[in-house]
């Protein structure tokens, strides 16, 4: 370890550090800072939607909202570097596989469709029509369409997603695994049953009126930097902001807004969280149940004395069901269990409950720290229970806010990139397009990997993303992909998935968000939906990275045309001449998109209706449901601790650094956590490091414990003493994905349990030997 790898960071999030970082990334991508007009058109009414996160913009008409990580996402796409045919001529797939994910990313934009040449082991250029013919041959040769898998990552526009699902359903399958399965699936699953919608109920307007904001399992300083602007305004107004996180995240503590000239000039900053609850990994259900217990006990006290109820009795009576059984369950939960499982003591939990009681209008936000556990669905149910108690749903300044990841992940699901399509939607497809869509459920992400491993699926098609290493159980996933007859990736940049391929393999390069999309009918815009259900237009402004690129809608349409030919009911090539035609088809399919073309052209776009926000409950109960959930005491973590009594079993949360966008590694620093030039780090409590008989700075190996008998290891991590509760560890994704068992996923939603992996820590086997530099070794070990 060099001496400056671990350095304490005492500054606020944002500030000059953010500006310096943007300047560095622009210059690394050879984008002149003075000419970086691209950045200024992000999230403008006539510009493109930022390809970063799904956090909404103020009316989409404000002046450029500064966001360091949005700027990095734009710079990564607008890079001057090119991964053209020369790169693939120079390096075989085997040779490329030796390089790190960071290096692959740095090669730049893909320029030419490439086909694997099995004889030489190199990717070689291929004509588009030949590529589509090859895929069509494979698809049409399968005994059943259910042997093909169609993955989607969340950057795909509504137009591309709609065409894609239409093509795949006319072809004959619902096999639509997507990144949502690994992300907010638990939120959708929990909320749909409980309140009838699987999306957040709040808008930015509500953030202006909330007097309490609870943030669970989210690191907005890194992953949703524009959210800090809203939090800063709320904090300045005096709203209480409470963070629940095992790690002390800088962005949740202090923020300096780079757009605030005074703050920048004076090196000032704004405190964000008024309260910080450092619970155990996976402890949220217990903590929230404890808060509810406090609220109920206080209510019994208040009403017992003849006072007014502290609950919103009218809302509970009129809009909810199940309150009595729920309250009885909460009151019966022993404090000892709540304290043990949350990692917070009783007075602290009562303080959190009191904070909730002291606020009139509360928003609960959450991210991956909540959704990626065995008991995630129950945890989200409990969060919604908390809101329901005081009618904090469907009124100004209050509601549920699952903060989505990819910039159009929510829209893709709205367009029915979904392996479990509702019957009414399929009926509509049949009515509008005249073909009989398949009715059987398709594979989700875990199901798709299992099917490839045991030969039930033979073709993998990826619309964006990095399936090989974003998914759990890297070795198992690689085995599945390698068994395929054909793997295809539509992508902007070279990534690991392109190197973990089937017998035939294609890389199809596409336009990015920032680029001009020219079709027969002129330049085209696409639409996206943000985390708060706002739908708006996005139009690229840069010339394409190469003349050979196709747009995603064009790739889907030409593939559909090649595969289905005369047997299709749809004029695929006609649809892409003018994307207004795709939007008309969307309007015919989904009632909420009526007059889509007209409404989306109003600056700022429009908001999709949200029934729960209107206090209309379209679930089977016809009411918002109080869901009783026991605090789990027999999860894989508990069981691992029981069966491995001799060793310390830790709970590992796999998380994002500041210099990455999911599997895209921009750099090797994690500035706010004080890590520089290294990604293989393991954050641990100093007392745990001592209990292991080790020291900060030691190199260690990780092994996860799973009941399936498979040995999963990840070697060589640098131990870092960190402010994290005992028994908890954190390390970066995707380096740790080999440790996440495929068979370990959330109840009901089947989201891999990436935030609660039981692991043991041992000294690195090659301790003492000269360590290879990070950039010399591939990030996830795939061989
Ligand atoms: N720059 C950048 N932006 C991004 C992304 C990116 O990689 N880079 N990814 C995008 C995507 S797809 C998504 S889904 C979002 C992800 O954004 P986040 O939801 O913020 O994702 P993570 O960084 O994985 O983890 C979030 C937090 O959960 C905490 N945590 C871990 N375990 C627990 C727990 O048991 N309980 C609680 N309360 N907290 C816990 C971690 O300490 C961390 O602070 O961001 C999106 N935006
Ligand atoms: N252990 C662990 N695993 C996780 C998570 C975790 O927290 N821990 N998080 C999970 C989450 S929340 C998510 S969302 C998934 C993410 O999983 P994915 O969405 O599959 O992964 P990304 O890294 O976002 O995909 C990046 C690739 O997308 C391509 N790309 C970028 N822009 C475009 C575009 O405009 N069009 C096309 N066609 N391609 C494009 C580029 O080639 C780039 O290499 O990972 C999940 N995996
Ligand atoms: Mo995500």
516-539 as b/e, with b when 16 or more CB fall inside 10 Å? Answer: ebeeeeeebbbbbbbbbbbbbbbb
Residue 434: CA count within 13 A, CB half-sphere: 5
* Ligand 3 center from residue 470 Cα (angstroms): 10
Q: What's residue 56's pLDDT?
A: 84
Distance CA 573, CA 526 (A): 17
Task: Decide whether any atom of ligand 2 lies within 6 Å of the 157 Cβ.
Answer: no
Cα of 662 vs centre of ligand 1, distance in Å, is: 10
Cα angle 605-607-611, degrees, rounded to a multiple of 5: 170
Whole-number percent of the chain with pLDDT over 70: 95
Q: Are 83 and 112 spatial neighbours (Cβ–Cβ below 8 Å)? A: no
Residue nearest to atom 26 of ligand 1 (CA): 218
3-class DSSP assignment, residue 21: helix
Q: Which of 718, 649, 708 is nearest to 682 (CA)?
A: 718
Q: What is the Cα–Cα distance from 108 to 81, expressed in whole angstroms?
A: 4
Question: For residue 62, how many other CB atoms are within 10 A of its CB?
Answer: 12
In this model, does residue 63 exceed pLDDT 80?
Answer: no
- Categorize the per-residue pLDDT at 266 as very low, low, confident or very high, splitting at 50, 70 and 90: confident
CB 541 within 8 A of CB 43: no
Query: Per-residue pLDDT tens for 685-707?
Result: 999 999 999 999 999 999 999 98
370 CA → ligand 3 middle, Å: 12
User: How far is it, in rounded angstroms, from Cα 246 to Cα 219?
Assistant: 11
Q: Whose CA is nearest to atom 15 of ligand 1?
A: 405
269 lines ligand 2 (CB under 6 A): no
Provide the strand spans (E) within 606-726. Answer: 606-607, 624-625, 650-655, 660-661, 664-665, 681-684, 699-704, 712-721
User: What residue's CA is closest to ligand 1, atom 46?
Assistant: 405
φ, ψ (nearest 5 deg) of residue 122 = -110, 155
pLDDT for position 73: 86
Question: CB neighbours (10 Å) of residue 482?
Answer: 16
Q: What is the sign, positive or negative, of the torsion defined by CA atoms of 6, 12, 13, 16?
A: negative
Virtual torsion, Cα 400, 406, 411, 412, nearest 10 deg: -130
State the Cα angle at 413 between 410 and 416, rounded to 5°.
155
Measured between alpha carbons, how far is 684 from 718 in angstroms, rounded to an integer?
A: 10
Cβ(399)–Cβ(200) below 8 Å:
yes
Going by alpha carbons, the residue nearest to atom 14 of ligand 2 is 179
**1 contacts 676 by C-beta, under 8 angstroms:** no
CB of residue 251 inside a 6 A radius of ligand 1: no
Q: Is the pLDDT of residue 263 over 90?
A: no
How many whole angstroms from 178 Cα to the centroid of ligand 3?
Answer: 10
Whether the CB-CB separation of 324 and 296 falls below 8 Å is answered with no
pLDDT reported for residue 545: 96
Of all protein residues, the one whose alpha carbon is nearest to atom 32 of ligand 2 is: 492
Q: Residue 372's closest CA among 778, 764, 780, 754? A: 754
- Say yes or no to pLDDT of 59 above 70: no
Specify the pLDDT at position 221: 92
Q: Would you kindly state where each structural domain of the chain is located, as residue ranges? A: 13-77, 82-181+408-513+547-595, 185-403, 636-776
CA-based nearest residue to 302, from 239, 354, 352, 345: 354
Is the shortest distance between the CB of 477 and ligand 2 below 6 Å?
Answer: no
The response to whether residue 246 sits with its C-beta less than 6 Å from ligand 1 reads: yes
Our answer on whether the CB atom of 733 is closer than 6 Å to any ligand 2 atom is: yes
407 alpha carbon, closest ligand:
1
Which atom of ligand 1 is nearest the CA belonging to 662?
7
Q: What pLDDT digit, counting tens, does each position of 134-174 carry?
A: 999 999 999 999 999 999 999 999 999 999 999 999 999 99
Mutate to test the pocket of ligand 1, among 272, 653, 722 (most ligand atoms within 8 A of CB): 653
Q: For a pocket test of ligand 2, which of 107, 155, 449, 494 has the largest count of ligand atoms closer than 8 A to its C-beta?
A: 155
Query: Which residue has the CA at smallest separation from atom 31 of ligand 2?
Result: 492
Query: CB of 238 within 8 A of CB of 391?
Result: no
What is the pLDDT at residue 66?
Answer: 63
pLDDT digits (tens, 9 = 90+) for 538-566: 999 999 999 999 999 999 999 999 999 99
Per-residue pLDDT tens over the stretch 313-365: 999 999 999 999 999 999 999 999 999 999 999 999 999 999 999 999 999 99
Residue 125 pairs in a beta bridge with: 114
Pocket test for ligand 1, best of 245, 372, 466 (most atoms within 8 A of CB): 245
- The residue whose CB lies within 8 Å of the most ligand 1 atoms, and thus the one to mutate among 291, 655, 682, 733, is 655
Give the range among 156-160, 258-262, 460-464, 556-560 with minimum mean pLDDT: 258-262
Residue 646: predicted pLDDT: 82
Give residue-wise pLDDT tens across range 189-217: 999 999 999 999 999 999 999 999 999 99
Say what angle helices 579-589 and 423-433 make with each other, to 10 degrees: 130
Between residues 471 and 28, the one the model is more confident about: 471
pLDDT of residue 264: 75
Q: Do domains 82-181+408-513+547-595 and 185-403 have the same CATH topology?
A: no
In CATH, what number does 82-181+408-513+547-595 get? 3.40.50.740
Among the atoms of ligand 2, which is closest to the Cα of residue 371? 12
pLDDT confidence of residue 18 = 79
CA dihedral (425, 430, 433, 435) positive or negative: positive
Q: What is the mean pLDDT of the chain?
A: 93
- Which contiguous run of DSSP H or E holds residue 216? strand 212-216
Distances (CA, A) of 100 to 78, 96, 257, 325: 21, 9, 34, 53
For 5-48, the pLDDT digits (tens) are: 888 888 888 877 877 887 787 788 877 654 566 766 776 667 78
Residue 110's contacts (CB-CB under 8 Å, 6 or more residues apart) are: 83, 84, 491, 492, 493, 494, 507, 509, 545, 546
Of 250-254, 469-473, 624-628, where does mean pLDDT reach its minimum?
Answer: 250-254
Q: Are 343 and 283 in contact (CB under 8 A)?
A: yes
- Residue 305, pLDDT score: 86
Question: CA–CA separation, 214 vs 702, rounded Å?
Answer: 33
Cβ–ligand 2 distance for 664 under 6 Å, the answer yes
Q: What is the 3-state secondary structure (H, E, C) of 342-408?
A: HCCCHHHHHHHHHHHHCCCCEEEEECHHHHCCCCHHHHHHHHHHHHHHCCCCCCCCCEEEECCCECC
* Separation between Cα atoms, residue 725 and residue 244, nearest integer Å: 12
Which residue has its alpha carbon closest to ligand 1 atom 17? 223
d(CA 84, CA 709): 43
In this predicted structure, the answer to whether residue 782 has a pLDDT above a threshold of 90 is no
Nearest-angstrom CA–CA distance, 782 and 769: 23
- Higher per-residue confidence, 43 vs 621: 621
Q: Which CATH number describes the domain made up of 185-403?
A: 3.40.228.10
Q: Are 199 and 193 a contacting pair, CB within 8 Å?
A: no
Residue 8, pLDDT score: 84
Pocket test residue of 183, 217, 734 for ligand 1, highest count of atoms within 8 A of CB: 217
Pair 704, 758: CB distance under 8 Å: yes
Pick the CATH number of 636-776 from 2.30.30.60, 2.40.10.340, 2.40.40.20, 1.10.10.10: 2.40.40.20
Per-residue pLDDT, averaged over 570-598, amounts to 98
Cα four-point dihedral sign 231, 233, 235, 238: negative
Can you tell me which residue has the tokens 């210099």? 659
Q: Which residues pair with 115 in a beta bridge?
A: 124, 506
Would you say 722 and 6 are in contact if contact means Cβ atoms under 8 Å apart?
no
Instruction: Give the model's pLDDT for residue 773.
Output: 47
In 15-127, which residue ranges form alpha helices assigned H by DSSP?
Answer: 15-28, 37-40, 68-77, 85-90, 93-96, 101-106
- Residue 61 is predicted with a pLDDT of 46
Ligand nearest to the CA of 733: 2
């Amino acid at each position: 370890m060099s001496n400056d790898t671990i350095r304490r960071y005492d500054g606020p999030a944002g500030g000059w550090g953010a500006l310096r970082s943007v300047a560095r990334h622009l210059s690394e991508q050879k984008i002149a800072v003075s000419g970086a007009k691209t950045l200024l058109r992000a999230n403008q009414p006539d510009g493109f939607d930022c390809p970063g996160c799904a956090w909404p913009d103020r009316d989409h008409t404000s002046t450029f909202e500064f966001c360091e990580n949005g700027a990095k996402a734009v710079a990564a796409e607008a890079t001057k570097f090119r991964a053209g045919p020369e790169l693939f001529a120079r390096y075989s797939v085997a040779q490329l596989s030796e390089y790190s994910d960071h290096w692959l990313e740095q090669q730049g934009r893909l320029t030419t469709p490439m086909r694997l040449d099995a004889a030489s082991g190199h990717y070689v250029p291929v004509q588009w029509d030949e590529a589509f013919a090859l895929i069509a041959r494979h698809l049409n040769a399968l005994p059943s369409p259910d042997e093909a898998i169609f993955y989607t990552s969340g950057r795909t526009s509504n137009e591309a997603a709609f065409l894609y699902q239409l093509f795949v359903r006319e072809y004959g399958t619902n096999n639509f695994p997507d990144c949502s399965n690994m992300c907010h699936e638990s939120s959708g699953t929990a909320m749909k049953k409980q309140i009838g919608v699987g999306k957040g109920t709040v808008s930015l307007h509500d953030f202006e009126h909330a007097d309490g904001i609870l943030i669970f399992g989210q690191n907005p300083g890194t992953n949703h930097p524009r959210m800090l602007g809203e939090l800063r305004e709320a904090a300045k107004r005096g709203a209480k902001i409470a963070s629940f996180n095992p790690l002390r995240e800088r962005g949740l503590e202090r923020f300096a807004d780079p757009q605030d000239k005074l703050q920048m000039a004076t090196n000032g900053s704004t405190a964000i969280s008024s309260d910080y609850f450092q619970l155990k990994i996976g402890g949220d259900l217990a903590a929230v149940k404890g808060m509810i217990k406090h609220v109920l006990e206080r209510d019994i006290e208040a009403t017992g004395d003849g006072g007014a109820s502290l609950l919103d009795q009218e809302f509970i009576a009129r809009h909810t069901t199940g309150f009595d059984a729920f309250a009885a369950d909460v009151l019966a939960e022993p404090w000892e269990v709540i304290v043990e499982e949350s990692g917070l003591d009783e007075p602290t939990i009562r303080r959190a409950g009191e904070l909730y009681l002291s606020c009139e209008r509360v928003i609960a936000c959450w991210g991956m720290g909540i959704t990626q556990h065995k008991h995630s669905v129950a945890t989200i149910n409990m969060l919604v229970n908390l809101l329901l108690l005081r009618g904090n749903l469907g009124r100004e300044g209050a509601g549920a806010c699952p903060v989505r990841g990819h910039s159009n992940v929510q829209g893709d699901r709205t367009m029915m990139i979904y392996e479990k399509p509702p019957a009414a939607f399929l009926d509509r497809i049949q009515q509008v397009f005249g073909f009989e869509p398949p009715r059987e459920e398709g594979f989700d992400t875990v199901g798709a990997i299992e099917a490839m491993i045991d030969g039930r699926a033979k073709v993998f098609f990826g619309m964006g993303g990095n399936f090989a290493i974003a998914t759990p159980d890297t070795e198992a996933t690689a085995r599945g992909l390698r068994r395929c007859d054909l793997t295809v990736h539509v992508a902007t940049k070279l990534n690991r998935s392109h190197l973990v391929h089937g017998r035939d393999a294609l890389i199809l390069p596409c336009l990015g968000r920032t680029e001009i999309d020219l079709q027969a009918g002129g330049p085209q815009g696409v639409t996206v939906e943000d985390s708060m259900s706002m739908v708006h237009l996005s139009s690229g402004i840069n010339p394409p990275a190469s003349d050979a690129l196709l747009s995603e809608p064009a790739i889907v349409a030409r593939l559909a045309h090649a595969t289905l030919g005369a047997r299709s009911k749809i004029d695929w090539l006609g649809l892409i001449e003018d994307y207004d035609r795709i939007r008309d088809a969307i309007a015919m399919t989904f009632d909420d998109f009526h007059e889509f073309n007209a409404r989306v052209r109003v600056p700022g776009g429009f908001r999709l209706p949200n029934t729960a926000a209107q206090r209309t409950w379209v679930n089977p109960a016809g009411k918002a449901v109080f869901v009783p959930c026991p605090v789990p005491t027999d999860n894989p973590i508990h069981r691992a601790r029981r069966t491995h009594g001799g060793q310390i079993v830790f709970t590992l949360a796999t998380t994002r650094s500041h210099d990455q966008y999911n599997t895209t590694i921009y750099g090797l620093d994690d500035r706010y956590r004080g890590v520089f030039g290294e990604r293989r780090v393991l954050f641990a409590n100093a007392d745990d490091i001592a209990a292991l008989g080790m020291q900060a700075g030691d190199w260690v190996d990780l092994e996860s414990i799973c009941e399936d008998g498979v040995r999963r290891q990840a070697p060589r991590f640098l131990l870092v003493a960190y402010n994290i509760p005992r028994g908890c560890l954190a390390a970066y994704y995707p380096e740790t994905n080999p440790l996440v068992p495929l068979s370990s996923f959330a109840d009901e939603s089947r989201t891999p349990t990436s935030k609660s992996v039981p692991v043991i820590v041992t000294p690195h086997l090659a301790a003492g030997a000269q360590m290879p530099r990070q950039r010399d070794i591939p990030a996830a070990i795939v061989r």
